[in-house]
């Protein structure tokens, strides 16, 4: 009475191929290549929208050259298991885009000689103004989000189909 209703030939082989495909180390690398390629329009838009300083200035004891933020824009690979690529100012290695978020969101300006406190909201009384925000990354994302999403979906579908074809061999 415990006989199966139907016998599928090669099912064990199919299961082994699916497990092999799931453990494929090249999969992450291929997806990252696709994501970097898809992110190029957003990166180009951000580089064209980023504000450029008119002259060299000093911040945190370092000289910041004009076009420094523009040169630091690029792809940042996420460290999590899921392949992820971010577009934004890079601050590691030879790149000095650590101040990109200040330009994007604006910062408080304090009166001269004010000693900042670390507690949230404790410095609000000493603020004499705020620099104007220039949301260059938000504008770049908005201007390219539709075509980039469609391109990503198309390229990922081709990648998945290629993996299915590999599995069927």
Coil, helix or strand at residue 152? helix
**How does pLDDT run across 28-80, given as a tens digit for each residue?**
888 899 999 999 999 999 999 999 989 998 888 889 899 999 999 999 999 98
Alpha-carbon distances, residue 49 vs 39, 44, 106, 134, 143 (angstroms): 16, 9, 16, 9, 11
Q: Do 152 and 38 touch, CB atoms closer than 8 A?
A: yes
Task: Evaluate if residue 24 carries a pLDDT over 80.
Answer: no
Q: Quick one: pLDDT at residue 70? A: 95
**How does pLDDT run across 84-125, given as a tens digit for each residue?**
999 999 999 989 899 999 999 998 888 888 888 888 888 878
């Amino acid at each position: 009475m415990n006989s199966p209703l139907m016998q599928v030939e090669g099912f064990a082989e199919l299961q082994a191929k699916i497990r092999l495909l799931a453990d494929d180390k090249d999969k992450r690398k291929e997806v990252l290549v696709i994501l970097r390629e898809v992110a190029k329009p957003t990166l180009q838009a951000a580089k064209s929208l980023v504000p450029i300083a008119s002259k060299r200035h000093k911040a945190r004891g370092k000289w910041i050259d004009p076009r420094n933020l523009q040169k630091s824009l690029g792809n940042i690979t996420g460290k999590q298991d899921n392949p992820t690529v971010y577009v934004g100012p890079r601050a590691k290695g030879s790149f000095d885009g650590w101040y990109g978020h200040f330009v994007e969101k604006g910062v408080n300006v304090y009166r001269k000689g004010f000693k900042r406190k670390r507690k949230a909201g404790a410095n609000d009384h000493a603020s004499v103004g705020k620099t104007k925000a220039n949301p260059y990354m938000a504008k770049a994302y908005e201007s390219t989000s539709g075509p980039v999403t469609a391109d990503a979906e198309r390229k990922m579908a081709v990648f998945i189909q290629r993996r299915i074809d590999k599995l069927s061999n």
